Amino acid sequence: MDYFLISGGKRLRGVVEINGAKNAALPIMAACILCEGEVTLHGVPDLADIRSMELLLNKLGVSTTREPGNTLRLKVEDEMNCHADYELVRRMRASVCVMGPLLAKRGKSQVSMPGGCAIGDRPINLHIEGLKALGAEPDLIGGDVILKAKKLTGAELFLGGPFGSTVTGTANVMMAAVLAEGRTVIESAACEPEVADLANFLNACGARISGHGSPRITIDGVKSLHGCEYTIIPDRIEAGTFMIAAAITNGEIRLRNCKLENLLAVVDRLRHIGVNIEREDGDVIVSSARRLEPIEVTSQPYPGFPTDLQAQIMALLCLADGNSVITEKIYPDRFMHVAELSRMGARLRKEGPTVIVEGVKRLIGAPVMASDLRASAALVLAGLVAKGETRINRVYHIDRGYERIERRLIALGADIERLSDASEE
Ligand code: EPZ
């Protein structure tokens, strides 16, 4: 199994190109089930999760051809299979994104109910309620959610839950509604840029969606969708992670292909910490002149601070000059990184969904364990600045969401190595 060895203390400097967004690419790939004709997607990152989605789509009769430069061609060849089995869904929760398209195009979807995961409970009740409102009949057999509908009909529905809306749930309902008869209005829809990107993709295929990017999305059903050529938006979470890498190492990184307008909450928090963020010639330059101020951060649905950067900003705030308060409002248990950062000398006190971060002068390298994608990124960031050597085990978690991160960090001057240890479980 692969692990990273990092010798901390190098200032990162240079240019990094931000890839297409994983969380936009995954539902857009699933949406290809709806299309008649070939789809060409540009900016599809080469990640473990993307390969899992390819495998699932292949099983569902969609051919996928990867071309150089992160281009992926997809085409429906066979519409017989409607089953996303446990093996695939267990590997990647975003597999549930095939539910809406299968139901709308093939009249049936059978998707294994995802279990719990490292970041906490992740139910899909809102997905099912939304699809039911369009006319689907749900059943649960052998751990699989089975949805059937001879015909879907537009409806007005509400997708809010106890923690706000649902990103992939909004995607599922929107994908089903594009082929439903009549108008669907999703109230309390997720406003995340990845949902808006999916809507833009569907419109490019002939769908009639408006209001995406706001909490009220209107979809007028059409008879069919055609193929198209489309470029995935840049990954705001990857961009935010590299911004924090510049800040934590007291370096200077120029980000190419970065949509700063999708990161305003992150920019706001980083500027309050004392990080400089400027636009120049279409790029974003992030630098820090040390002395990090403590702040309060609360993760919220978009346009609030993203939960997917909560772990990374915690790593940064470990080194601030005072006490910070981080509150997680999307996944109250998403704190697996707390114990690992503490092994590196961080002073963290967890109280319910809040962590009090007492700034320390330095972090100290240690062997730590990656538990999930973003927690792993936080450990890498901590390792980049820690005194001495940090060993991060189970880096397959980070490979799910960051394409060859060690190579890109090395190009920026980091001392990080990927090694393999057959005996590590
Ligand atoms: C998406 O997950 C992302 N995944 C996650 O990114 C991200 O953390 C999350 O949105 C929040 O921004 C993809 O886009 C593939 P939700 P999703 O449904 O859609 C509750 C990463 O690191 N909820 O918006 O599964 C849920 O428990 C990943 O890249 C219900 O109660 O998240 C949570 O508290 C991890 N019922 C909140 O809503 C439901 O039916 C938001 O979850 C669905 C969700």
Q: Is the CB of 400 under 6 A from ligand 1?
A: no
- Distance (Å) from CA 334 to ligand 1 centroid: 12
Query: Cα(75)–Cα(45) distance, rounded to whole angstroms?
Result: 19
The per-residue pLDDT for 260 is 96
pLDDT in tens, 180-236: 999 999 999 999 999 999 999 999 999 999 999 999 999 999 999 999 999 999 999
Q: Is the CB of 307 under 6 A from ligand 1?
A: yes
Q: Which residues pair with 75 in a beta bridge?
A: 63
Whether the per-residue pLDDT at 116 is higher than 70: the answer is no
Q: Are residues 338 and 406 in the same domain?
A: yes
Q: How far is CA 66 from CA 39, 54, 141, 238, 352, in A?
A: 12, 10, 35, 22, 44
Q: Are residues 213 and 300 in the same domain?
A: no
**Domain assignment of residue 70, yes or no:** yes
**Domain assignment of residue 403, yes or no:** yes
pTM above 0.75? Answer: yes
pLDDT band at 425 (very low <50, low <70, confident <90, very high): very low
Q: Are residues 253 and 401 in the same domain?
A: yes
Q: What is the mean pLDDT of the chain?
A: 95
Whether the per-residue pLDDT at 38 is higher than 80: the answer is yes
Instruction: Tell which atom from ligand 1 comes closest to the C-alpha of 330.
Output: 34
Dihedral sign computed on CA atoms, order 24, 326, 397, 70: positive
pLDDT in tens, 61-75: 999 999 998 999 999
Q: Are residues 130 and 264 in the same domain?
A: no
The per-residue pLDDT for 80 is 93
For range 49-66, the mean pLDDT: 96
For range 336-354, the mean pLDDT: 97
- Distance (Å) from CA 169 to ligand 1 centroid: 8
- Distance (Å) from CA 93 to ligand 1 centroid: 10
Q: Are residues 292 and 345 in the same domain?
A: yes
**Domain assignment of residue 192, yes or no:** yes
Q: Is the CB of 130 under 6 A from ligand 1?
A: no
Residue 318 bears catalytic tag: no
Whether the per-residue pLDDT at 85 is higher than 60: the answer is yes
pLDDT band at 259 (very low <50, low <70, confident <90, very high): very high
Q: Are residues 206 and 286 in the same domain?
A: no
Q: What angle do CA 401, 404, 410 make, to 5 degrees?
A: 130
Q: Are residues 263 and 182 in the same domain?
A: no
Q: Are residues 174 and 112 in the same domain?
A: yes
Q: Are residues 320 and 364 in the same domain?
A: yes
CATH number of the domain where residue 311 is located:
3.65.10.10
Query: Cα(341)–Cα(343) distance, rounded to whole angstroms?
Result: 5
**Domain assignment of residue 238, yes or no:** yes
Q: How far is CA 254 from CA 13, 15, 247, 251, in A?
A: 8, 5, 12, 10
Whether the per-residue pLDDT at 252 is higher than 50: the answer is yes
pLDDT band at 423 (very low <50, low <70, confident <90, very high): low
- Residue 296: how many other CB atoms lie within 10 Å: 13
Q: Are residues 193 and 262 in the same domain?
A: no
Domain boundary among the residues 186, 208, 231 is at: 231
Structure tokens at 126: 């809102």
The per-residue pLDDT for 291 is 84
pLDDT in tens, 102-112: 999 999 999 99
Query: Cα(222)–Cα(181) distance, rounded to whole angstroms?
Result: 7
How do beta strands 2-7 and 415-420 pair?
A: antiparallel
Tell me which residue range forms the domain holding 356.
2-19+234-420
Domain boundary among the residues 187, 209, 231 is at: 231
Q: Is the CB of 375 under 6 A from ligand 1?
A: no
- Distance (Å) from CA 167 to ligand 1 centroid: 6
Q: Are residues 190 and 250 in the same domain?
A: no
DSSP for residue 21:
P
Q: Are residues 255 and 400 in the same domain?
A: yes
Q: Is the CB of 191 under 6 A from ligand 1?
A: no
Instruction: Tell which atom from ligand 1 comes closest to the C-alpha of 237.
Output: 29
Mutational test site, ligand 1, from 119, 122, 197, 328, max ligand atoms within 8 Å of CB: 122
% of the chain with per-residue pLDDT over 70: 99
**Domain assignment of residue 82, yes or no:** yes
- Distance (Å) from CA 37 to ligand 1 centroid: 30
Whether the per-residue pLDDT at 424 is higher than 70: the answer is no
Mutational test site, ligand 1, from 172, 188, 330, max ligand atoms within 8 Å of CB: 330
**Domain assignment of residue 425, yes or no:** no
**Out of 21-25, 182-186, 369-373, which region has the weakest mean confidence (pLDDT)?**
369-373
**Domain assignment of residue 248, yes or no:** yes
Domain boundary among the residues 172, 202, 231 is at: 231
Among protein residues, the one with the nearest Cα to ligand 1's atom 39 is 124
**Domain assignment of residue 396, yes or no:** yes
| Active-site annotation holder among 82, 97, 117, 258 | 117
Query: Cα(169)–Cα(26) distance, rounded to whole angstroms?
Result: 13
Total structural domains within the chain? 2
Q: Is 283 exposed, middle or buried (0-12, 13-18, 19+ CB in 10 A)?
A: middle
